[in-house]
Amino acid sequence: MRRLSWGAHSREVMECGRSAIRSKAMNADIHPMAIGYNRPPSYTFARNAGGAMMTSDLWALIATIGLAMGQLTIASILTLRQLGGRWVAGARDEPRAASGISGRFVRAHRNLLEIFPQFVAALFVVHAAGVAGYWSAIGAWIFFAARCLYVPAYAFGPIGVRPACWITGQIGIVLIFADLIR
């Protein structure tokens, strides 16, 4: 019986685990109904290894949540500067609305909140159906990029740029559903 140092043993165990994952992944692609068939490698290996499945489209969801938090922060700071701390911290009995650049950032944030449930629902459907793949990842990142461009387009952009960004975001949501029909 040979003695292994900690480093050699852990390398041996890792290699054994990798070959098991590879063989499971290769066997999974034999039948179209098998787990991992025609899926991105990250999805297949995470699934077969018994690990958490953080696919690219879910990372796009997290990035979009971060975008929403950033938009809320910017809109809140600009509204505070425009309307004053007394009104913002008060009961807000008399309605006041931010205008100018502050109002544009507030409206851009509200627009994201209006479209965000559709984005989440699209991702939920493809993941619940077990068909999340390349198209859902591409669509999710297109949605995120379009929403990132939408904010400055709304605040500073020329006429026509904001609707183009909005339509591109909608196209991203449609692409997410493409995995359902492939």
DSSP string for residues in the chain? -----HHHHHHHHHHHHHHHHHHHHHHHTSSTTSTTTT--HHHHHHHHTT-----HHHHHHHHHHHHHHHHHHHHHHHHHHHH-HHHHHS---S-----HHHHHHHHHHHHHHHHHHHHHHHHHHHHHTT---HHHHHHHHHHHHHHHHHHHHHHTPPTTHHHHHHHHHHHHHHHHHHHHH-
Answer yes or no: are the C-beta atoms of 45 and 21 closer than 8 Å: yes
Confidence at 38, pLDDT banded by 50, 70, 90:
low
Average pLDDT along the chain: 79
Q: How far apart are CA 42 and CA 161, in angstroms?
A: 35
Q: Provide the percentage of residues in the chain whose pLDDT is more than 70.
A: 71
Q: How far apart are CA 96 and CA 90, in angstroms?
A: 12
C-alpha dist (Å) from residue 163 to 78, 108, 142, 158: 23, 12, 15, 11
Residue 123 reports pLDDT greater than 60? yes
If one counts every other C-beta atom within 10 angstroms of the C-beta of residue 59, the result is: 15
Q: How far apart are CA 97 and CA 87, in angstroms?
A: 11
pLDDT value of position 141 = 97
Least confident of 11-20, 52-61, 73-82: 11-20
pLDDT value of position 62 = 95
Q: Which residue has the higher pLDDT, 139 or 13?
A: 139
pLDDT value of position 51 = 57
Residue 142 reports pLDDT greater than 70? yes
Q: Which residue has the higher pLDDT, 182 or 12?
A: 182
**pLDDT tens track for 58-96:** 999 999 999 999 999 999 899 888 888 787 777 877 777
pLDDT value of position 88 = 74
Confidence at 31, pLDDT banded by 50, 70, 90:
very low
pLDDT value of position 153 = 94
